[in-house]
Structure 1
Amino acid sequence: MSDANTTPDPDEGIGRRIARKRSARGLTQQGLADRAYVSRSLIQQVETGRKPATPSLVAAVASALHIDPVTLYGQPYRGATMRKDRVHAAIPDIRKALTYVDLAPTLDTPPRPLAELAKTVTEAKRLQQQARHVQLGARLPALIDELTVHAHDTDSPRAWRLLNQTHSLANSLSRRLGYTDLAQLAMERAARSADRSDDPNLPQLVTLSRALLLLTIGAWDPALALLDHAAGHVEQDRPESVTVFGALHLRAAIVAARAGRETEAWGHHGIADDAARRIGPRVRDEYGVQLTAANVDIHGVAVAVELTDFDEAIRRDSRLSLPSSMPADRRAHHEIDVSRALVSTGQHDRALRRIQSAEKTAPQMTWYHPMARETVGRLVDHYRALPEPLRAIQEHMSLS
């Protein structure tokens, strides 16, 4: 569980948080290393900032210390002013909207027609792809409330499908901002709405979210088992179903890579690549999983980064040419991954340019992404005189 009553220090990096939490538990570096199944030298180097705190290490240390990984990341990242903290404003209302299970909320006015709400859901999904967290959060609570009323009043599969999409959006936003408990609640609601949607692929997509939460806490085997089970239940009778099948294998590739299982990771990546080639570029992305050749290539870079094969990640990136249609959140995530690889190979100027690109592409995503903040922290430690672009990013993240 996270330390809910403490406010994380934005100036404190992951390594220092690990050291502080370790000391609070009365553990030596060797003691923590033994519990996390890593070397003492790795713990020492991460705590002193000489090596990056990778997501796999954070998961292992959090498990050893019996805390939520978000505690070590320092999430949620709260701003010192109302303007900087506004990304969190919608969280209480989203939490309230998700409390309704067996009955619908009582609204002050009747819900909008389902056709109008469907358009609003499409707009909300676009905001998610643009990583506009503030704007998405502002729309979600009322949208969830109205669709909950429709779903319970009519029991229409279409209403349940639309409600499922809002539950998935709430899950994604909560997870990105570091509200693990709320992401778990949204995922449970998504599983319920998926079951009542008459769409056999939606329950499998819930598995994508479940695997992502398991990935965060380092539960590799359960995550891979769930993904394998879900992929086996996808009827690949139409191209849209094949996109779901491929997306499950892309997620499995990342999980296996973070677990350090190189052969398994590239095996899943290859299956996803084959699925993307089978459906071709013109299939409608009905489920928003982005199973395209470009996204598979991006995941290839991510797999190499998670395996800490940074040279391979940089080589793969050098061969990429991302289409302009690539959603901003995917493009920015890729830039963050590459910046991690570059800073880990001592290419600090190039790493700074890539993190700048991530911020330009999707500012809100970059400011609230733990690995982006960790990379910026390492760049700050490297430069004696901070370049102005780095100083600006540091200020936007409230790390100064």
Structure 2
Amino acid sequence: MAEQELPTPSESVGKRVARARKRRGLTQQGLSQRTNYARSHIAQVEAGHKVATPAFVAAVADALKVEMSELYGQPYRGDTPSTDRVHRSIPDLRRALAWSDLPPELEGPARPLEALAVEVENAKQLRRRAWHVQLGDLLPAVMEELGHHAHETDDPRAWRLLSDAHCAAGELSRRLGYSDLADSMFREAARFASLSRDPHLPLIITWRRALVLMNHGALAAAVRLLERCTERIEEGSPGDVEVSGALHLRAAILAGRLGDASNAWEHFERAAEISARAGRPHLDDYSTYFSPANILIHGAAVATELGDHDEAVRRDAAIPANALNSLARERRAHHLIDMSRVHLDQGRTGQALARLVEAERVAPQMTRYHPSARTVATHLQDRRRILSEDLRGLVARMRL
């Protein structure tokens, strides 16, 4: 494979950590005392010799009272209309959000609710494929038209669809690094969910919002909120299995990121038991992707968050190819990105790159804007002057 030189990489997470630390007037030893990481580990991350894992970034963000997105350098903006197009919907989403409390002023008549229900389903499919640009183009008008129906008719179905649309907008905003907008979207989605007469819908919005709280450095609060939600499940009612299982899986990941192995694996086992009792291979009424295959990749993810990379590799190897391929592209790419950082930590740079390249093939827009994917790519780029063609192409598309 041909090898070529690349220009100097963009600023690393380590450099942003060092700048934020100095801004708080802390030494590396001072930051070490506020986290569970040794001064030498912090020094190696700041110098670019160690990868800044999500758990490390979360701990540092909490200690320095900054957002994780700031340390990651999000949002990742482009310099031209073409390279920045994934962000072009953000102003429109903010404007759509401004109409949350009253019927929006539409330029023409709103489409029928049935047509808008189809659009919301299209939005869910775009989210499953991680097509950020197309999702952003679709959502603002749908949100405004659904707002018109909901406020004018007070139809529970309209409120449910409006909540779903705001959730999709919240997920997109979070992935692109707009945590403030994501949090606002989820808060409004929760308000609309309470009007939908579905008792489980507000719980799933907390499930989604927990990732925003994580970005704020509120991991412990996020885990506690998820645990509280599991206590509010109405057993025997529609969606109880999927909602309960999804809540436990997310609590497992966040507890793992906190370093709480006992709680993480307990939540994971609860989710596996719930799935086994369900007797159905796939439950997705709430777009949680709850399935046996999703549980398998969560097992590898919990081990990854806990830093048990040998266990993560073992669990990854045990996932059948057909199970992995059955997952939504969003979930499959996320798993590949997780495993890329596991392989990098263990010094298998070739396998780390291969996983990243595969993740980009599966979900290109998601991979190019995913903080962990960019962190691994930056580290691979920074460790060598001469880059392989695959790595050169990847970092060029990420504009690192």
Q: Same fold (TM over 0.5)?
A: yes
* Cα pair 1:236 1:245 within 8 Å, conserved: no
Match of 1:4 in 2: none
Instruction: Give the structure-2-normalised TM-score.
Output: 0.95
Q: 1:24 to 1:229 in 2, by over 3 A?
A: closer
Match of 2:344 in 1: 343
After superposing the two structures, state which structure 1 stretch, 59-68 or 241-250, moved more. Answer: 59-68
* Cα pair 1:14 1:74 within 8 Å, conserved: yes
Alpha-carbon distance in structure 1 between the residues aligned to 2:23 and 2:399: 26
Alpha-carbon distance in structure 1 between the residues aligned to 2:38 and 2:31: 9
* Cα pair 1:300 1:316 within 8 Å, conserved: yes
Match of 2:374 in 1: 373
**Which amino acid is the alignment partner of residue 378 of structure 2?**
G
User: Which has the higher relative contact order, 1 or 2, with Cα contacts under 8 A spaced 6 or more apart?
Assistant: 2
Matches within 5 A, 1:80-159: 80-159=79-158
* Cα pair 1:252 1:268 within 8 Å, conserved: yes
Alpha-carbon distance in structure 2 between the residues aligned to 1:252 and 1:283: 20
**Which amino acid is the alignment partner of residue 118 of structure 2?**
K
* Cα pair 1:239 1:283 within 8 Å, conserved: no
Aligned length: 391
The question of 1:394 aligning with 2:399 is answered no
The CA deviation string for residues 237-261 of structure 1, in whole angstroms up to 9 with x for no partner, is: 0462211000000000001100001
CA RMSD between the two structures: 1.5
Alpha-carbon offset, residue 390 of structure 1: 0.5
* Cα pair 1:76 1:177 within 8 Å, conserved: yes
The question of 1:262 aligning with 2:244 is answered no
Match of 2:316 in 1: 317
Three-state SS of the structure 2 residue aligned to 1:386 is strand
Alpha-carbon offset, residue 37 of structure 1: 4.6
* Cα pair 1:36 1:64 within 8 Å, conserved: yes
Three-state SS of the structure 2 residue aligned to 1:101 is coil
**Which amino acid is the alignment partner of residue 131 of structure 2?**
R
**Which amino acid is the alignment partner of residue 391 of structure 1?**
R
Three-state SS of the structure 2 residue aligned to 1:71 is helix
The CA deviation string for residues 62-99 of structure 1, in whole angstroms up to 9 with x for no partner, is: 23322222111000000122111000000000011011
Give ranges in structure 1 of 5+ residues lacking alignment: 1-8
Q: 1:323 to 1:210 in 2, by over 3 A?
A: closer
Match of 1:14 in 2: 13
Alpha-carbon distance in structure 2 between the residues aligned to 1:283 and 1:76: 34
After superposing the two structures, state which structure 1 stretch, 62-71 or 139-148, moved more. Answer: 62-71
Alpha-carbon offset, residue 282 of structure 1: 4.7
Alpha-carbon distance in structure 1 between the residues aligned to 2:359 and 2:252: 23
After superposing the two structures, state which structure 1 stretch, 34-43 or 382-391, moved more. Answer: 34-43
Alpha-carbon distance in structure 2 between the residues aligned to 1:284 and 1:192: 25
The question of 1:329 aligning with 2:358 is answered no
The question of 1:362 aligning with 2:333 is answered no
Matches within 5 A, 1:207-222: 207-222=206-221
Alpha-carbon distance in structure 2 between the residues aligned to 1:126 and 1:34: 45
Match of 2:41 in 1: 42
The CA deviation string for residues 206-233 of structure 1, in whole angstroms up to 9 with x for no partner, is: 1102222222233232112211111111
Three-state SS of the structure 1 residue aligned to 2:102 is coil
The CA deviation string for residues 173-219 of structure 1, in whole angstroms up to 9 with x for no partner, is: 00000001000110111111110000001011111022222222332
After superposing the two structures, state which structure 1 stretch, 166-175 or 43-52, moved more. Answer: 43-52
Alpha-carbon distance in structure 2 between the residues aligned to 1:283 and 1:180: 30
* Cα pair 1:95 1:182 within 8 Å, conserved: yes
**Which amino acid is the alignment partner of residue 374 of structure 1?**
T
